[in-house]
Structures are given as C-alpha cells and as structure tokens.
Structure 1
Amino acid sequence: MKSLFCFLFALTSLHGFSQTEKLFYYSENDSLIGVKNEKGQVIIPAKYCLMSFATIKNNPIKENVILFWIAKEGPKAYDRKGNFLFTPYIFDNGFDDFQEGCMRFTENKKIGLANKNGTVVIPAKYDWISPVTFGIVNYCNGCYWDRSKDEEHPALVGGTWGYLDKAGNEIALTRIRNHPKDIKIKNNEFIPYQFRYTAKEIGILDFFEKRKELIITINHLVYPKENFSFEITERPTESEPYYIIRSFELLEGYAVGSNYYDDFQNFKVSADGKKYYVTHIDLVDHKEYSEYVARKTEVDKWIQKELRAVKK
C-alpha cells in the first residue's frame, strides 16, 4: 500500500456548477480516490484518501477549484483539467474556504489571494493577509507569530501593516468619514467603504433594506439597525448564476461578516434580480453516510416562517 495519504475536500454543496464537461470522483482499489470526466478519462490520478467514497461517488464536482490534502506534501488545489493551481493557506488545522469569492494561498512562504476560478488576484508577497471581509484585506510584512505567551493561540506582532482591496490595490486611509459605512480605526483614521453598485444592484439591496428590521428581529440582534449592513459580495458568473448577498455587523475598527455566526444568513438573488433566496445547510442522513446539503428558500416565505417561530 502506498504511504501517500490525503484528505479530499468535497465542497459539492456550496458552490456553483461549471458549464464545462462534467467531472466525478472515482474510486480505485476501494481506497484510492481521484477525478475523471464523463468520458472516463482521468483528470486527477487517484490517491489514498481518508474519507468515505460513498459521500461523493454520485455527485458531479461543482467547483472550478478542486482541493486535495496530501499529508506528506500538504494541501493542493487543481483546476478542472487537473493542472496544479496553488497551495491553500493552512490556519488552525485547516485551510480557508472561499470568502467573498476568494481564498488565501501560499507560495515561497508568502501569502496571496486567489478567486473561485483559481486565478491569482493578489500575488503571494505578504507575510500574512486576512480573509476578505467587507471587501477589505488586512496585510502585514515583517510580522511574526509570537508564541512566547500562548503557544496555542499566538499573537501576530511586529512588521508593517496596511489594507488592500480585493484586486490587491493599497487602500489609502482617510482622516474624515466620507461614507456612513467607512470603518473607523485607531488614530481617528478611516478605511473607505469599498462597495460600488449599479442602479440594478442598488435595487437588489433595497429589497433587503426594506426587510432589515424583520431580519434583525429574527436574528435577535440588539445593536442599532444602522450597524447592520447588506452587501453584494459576489456577482453572477457562469459557475454561480446568482448575486451573493452577505450581512455585516459594523463595529468600531472592523466589520463582522455573517459567515462568522451559525445563526446569521447569507442570501442569493437570481441574475435577473427577480428571485430572492435565503441559503441554509441541512444535514441529510443516508443509509451509508450523512452529508451537508445547501438549500435555498424564498426570502419572504422564510421571514414569515421565522417570525411565527419568534412569536411563539
């Protein structure tokens, strides 16, 4: 038996389905798992994987970036043709999922950012960068993890710090608030609001603004509604034909996205701007295995159902 082990991350429920040829996981010798196309041609050769093939065998691969974790080599990301793309960034015994359409990766001990197509949007030239939050990436160079006081949860200290947008452009801080959603940080400086919208997109967000107080009630929020923001974090693509709308809690110094809370919701809107959904994850039990499956419900139906539950 080969000594090569890997974890295979099957994110089949959470992302869109590419319009190119269909890909499927396949099993070899009852333990090796790889990727083939619908013609049976091998795209990614099978490796010994520590997961149940039953959980993925019937599902077409929906991602443009396919993730493996090889124990002796670390995690690897491949495109749908089987080409190596990048090494995902490891943090806290795992690696990033995509956040606001991007995930971190490493190269030559530096960190960068890639999108859902596997395209590098920020080159790996920083000692550390944060996940994208509220359209903002925090970075530092010359910083390090100080493990002298807490080995398990070290602080990131030292170095030169700054902010980037999702395209890797340096964000210039301001001395005054030019937009209500500018983020105030130390030294009375502000990170400028990063989102820009078309008239159609403003109309999409207005749908949620009109329902903001109801959504706040459902989520049992106690802070002012002015601190609760809806933003379009991803636009429709071939592989994901929806606008992705995320809610944010705007705090002093930073914004907290809905992905940080189990009970906060993300939303999807059809590309034509006519159908509005709330997304949620269900645990589905099968005879041989269980899996998490993404669901979507019309927003107004969801609001009515949740408000009835709140009033009980």
Structure 2
Amino acid sequence: MKKLLSLIVFLAAAYICPAQEKLYYFINPADSLVGVKNSSGKVIIPAKYNFAYQQIESVDRPITEATIYFLDWENNPTCIPALSAGDVYDRTGSLLYHPMQYDNGPDIFTEGLTRCVSKGHKAGFANANGKIVIKAEYDWVSEFNYGYAFVCHGCTLDLEKDPEQRITVSTDRAVPMTQELMAYPLLPLFSDGRDTYS
C-alpha cells in the first residue's frame, strides 16, 4: 500500500511540475551572431549578439541557467559611469534587464544582487531571479557591502582626468567611488537565513 501511495504521489508531482523546456544556443551562419532556440527549432531570442556570457561549449548542449546573458558593448558613451554590458533574458525570451558593465563583462552578484542599467544609463539592482528590486534611477551605484551600497546623482566618468576611473561629481573635482557619495541603506539582505529580495 505504501509503495502504491508513493507511486501515486510521484506521478502527480511529475504531472503538476512539467519538465523545463530545453533551450539551445544557435549561431547564424550568415553573420556568426548568437541567439537561442528551443528543441523544436523555434527562435526564442533572435541571433543578434556577438557573444553569450555563458561559455558555449557546444550548440548541442542545453542551456540550464534560469537567466540567459548576452554581451554587447556597442552604443555605450564613454563619459557615463553606468554602462550596459548587454542583455539578460528569461527562458521565454523576455528581456529582464541590462547588466551593468564590470571589468570585462556583466556585473557580478554580491549579497544576492547585481547592478543593472536602464536605457537612459541609470543604475539599480536586480536579484538572481532577474527581478529588478531597486529601480534604476541613479547615475552610478556600488556593489552591496554589508547591506549598503553607495549611489551617486549628477556624476560622470572622466577617464582623461584620472585613469583610475574615478567618478567625477562636479566639473573640477574627482572623488573615489567610496568617498563623498550618498549611502543608500537597505534592510538586511538575509533574515533568518532567507533572502528578503527573492
């Protein structure tokens, strides 16, 4: 009887929770741009990117990640501190956000959040599920550290004055990213071991 009940519960769970659709990267042979198709060949994300952030070892290997990153640095002005590093999509092909450029790729996750950029080059934060949890309304934001992030309004980036990539708050004064910027306090990211931004 216990085996029969276990089998019924297992079959019900399999029926209620259908398998995740298999997605694959594909490369357009005409221009070598990358996109995403499902297992039946339907295009989910058009091939318009030069690079996928996840390493493509084989186009026959399914994409397992919940979000899909594509890199794209074109059309980025040089004096803006919050630059986009591309696009992040969900598995249905819906654009979630533009990750903020960090070093040579998209921003990393710290304390459960990553920096994101709006079309108007304003910065905010998204969680690992791709949900924007702090609206992109700042000229620049730092990564979170112990529940705090530095934000800046009215700042620009001047690489000619300072090769250390310092934020310029006014036309004649450069300040390090960690000084003289407004602190933006948030609730603790984890409460009782649970991520409060999920």
Q: What's the TM-score bracket when you normalise by the shorter of the two chains?
A: 0.5 to 0.7
Match of 1:135 among 147, 153, 156: 147
Q: Deviations over 1:84-119 (max 9, x none)?
A: 222221233432022232211111121011112221
Distance in 2, Cα, partners of 1:60 & 1:197? 35
Query: Letter of the aligned partner of 1:57 in structure 2?
Result: V
Question: Contact 2:117 / 2:123 at 8 angstroms: preserved in 1?
Answer: yes
SS in 2 for 1:55: coil
Question: Contact 2:148 / 2:184 at 8 angstroms: preserved in 1?
Answer: yes
Partner of 2:64: 62
RMSD of aligned alpha carbons: 3.1
Q: Deviations over 1:184-235 (max 9, x none)?
A: xxxxxxxxxx35543xx4xxxxxxxxxxxxxxxxxxxxxxxxxxxxxx8x59
Relative distance call for 1:129 and 1:29 in structure 2 (3 A) is same
1:125 is the counterpart of 2:126: no
Q: TM-score, normalised by structure 1?
A: 0.43
Question: Contact 1:139 / 1:161 at 8 angstroms: preserved in 2?
Answer: yes
Q: Deviations over 1:100-146 (max 9, x none)?
A: 32211111121011112221100011111112233322212233335
Question: Contact 2:112 / 2:189 at 8 angstroms: preserved in 1?
Answer: no
Relative distance call for 1:64 and 1:162 in structure 2 (3 A) is same
Greater fraction helix:
1
Relative distance call for 1:61 and 1:164 in structure 2 (3 A) is farther
Relative distance call for 1:128 and 1:58 in structure 2 (3 A) is same
Question: Contact 1:142 / 1:160 at 8 angstroms: preserved in 2?
Answer: no
Match of 2:96 among 85, 89, 95: 85
Distance in 2, Cα, partners of 1:78 & 1:143? 29
Question: 1:160: Cα distance to partner?
Answer: 5.1
Sequence identity percentage: 37
Q: Deviations over 1:134-187 (max 9, x none)?
A: 33222122333354642x21322537511232xxx6xxxxxxxxxxxxxxxxxx
Question: Contact 1:89 / 1:106 at 8 angstroms: preserved in 2?
Answer: yes
Distance in 2, Cα, partners of 1:46 & 1:154? 33
Distance in 1, Cα, partners of 2:100 & 2:143? 10
SS in 1 for 2:183: strand
Distance in 1, Cα, partners of 2:155 & 2:73? 27
Match of 1:105 among 116, 120, 126: 116
Query: Letter of the aligned partner of 2:88 in structure 1?
Result: A
Question: Contact 1:143 / 1:160 at 8 angstroms: preserved in 2?
Answer: no
SS in 1 for 2:20: coil
Structure 2: stretches of 5+ with no match in the other structure: 1-18, 76-84, 170-179
Distance in 2, Cα, partners of 1:154 & 1:49? 26
Distance in 2, Cα, partners of 1:69 & 1:42? 18
* Residue correspondences, number: 156
Query: Letter of the aligned partner of 2:140 in structure 1?
Result: W
Partner of 2:9: none
Q: Deviations over 1:50-76 (max 9, x none)?
A: 58x861424322222211123545612
Matches within 5 A, 1:192-231: 194=188, 197-198=191-192, 201=193
Q: TM-score, normalised by structure 2?
A: 0.63
Question: Contact 1:138 / 1:162 at 8 angstroms: preserved in 2?
Answer: yes
SS in 1 for 2:145: coil
Question: Contact 2:24 / 2:59 at 8 angstroms: preserved in 1?
Answer: yes
Distance in 2, Cα, partners of 1:48 & 1:86? 15
Partner of 1:34: 35
Partner of 1:49: 50
Distance in 2, Cα, partners of 1:154 & 1:140? 15
Partner of 2:106: 95
Query: Letter of the aligned partner of 2:133 in structure 1?
Result: V
Relative distance call for 1:196 and 1:24 in structure 2 (3 A) is closer
